[in-house]
């Protein structure tokens, strides 16, 4: 099955961005679904403009806590922050 044009464009852009920022692509692949879920929840239940900023905050918090850590530790921290913020956005925490 052929990927939709927006999926191809997103993949191309994210490959460029991860390379430019020297981010391991494995970290992105492990986190992308959670990031998209979080931004969807925030956009629909709180504020559309707050959705990307909330994702940025999750990444910022994970980065501050995992500087110099392994990729596995970075992935785990990002996923924990995304899950916590998603729960907050849903009103379950």
Cα–Cα–Cα angle for 86, 77, 23, nearest 5°? 105
Domain membership of residue 36 (yes or no) is yes
- Residue-number span of the structural domain to which 62 is assigned: 24-90
Domain membership of residue 2 (yes or no) is no
Question: What is the number of structural domains in the chain?
Answer: 1
Domain membership of residue 32 (yes or no) is yes
Please give the pLDDT value at position 93: 62
Burial of residue 93 (number of CB atoms within 10 Å: 0-12, 13-18, 19+): exposed
Please give the pLDDT value at position 48: 97
Domain membership of residue 39 (yes or no) is yes
Domain membership of residue 34 (yes or no) is yes
Please give the pLDDT value at position 52: 95
User: How many Å apart are CA 81 and CA 86, to the nearest integer?
Assistant: 8
What is the distance of C-alpha 74 from the center of its chain? Answer: 12
pLDDT in tens, 22-69: 888 998 899 999 999 999 999 999 999 999 999 999 888 888 887 777
Domain membership of residue 40 (yes or no) is yes
């Amino acid at each position: 099955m052929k990927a939709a044009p927006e999926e191809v464009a997103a993949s191309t852009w994210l490959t460029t961005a991860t390379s430019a920022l020297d981010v391991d692509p494995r970290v992105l692949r492990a986190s992308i679904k959670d990031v998209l879920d979080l931004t969807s929840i925030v956009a629909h239940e709180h504020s559309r403009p707050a959705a990307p900023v909330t994702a940025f905050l999750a990444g910022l918090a994970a980065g501050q806590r995992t500087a110099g850590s392994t990729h596995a530790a970075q992935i785990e921290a990002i996923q924990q922050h995304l899950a916590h913020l998603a729960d907050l956005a849903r009103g379950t925490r």
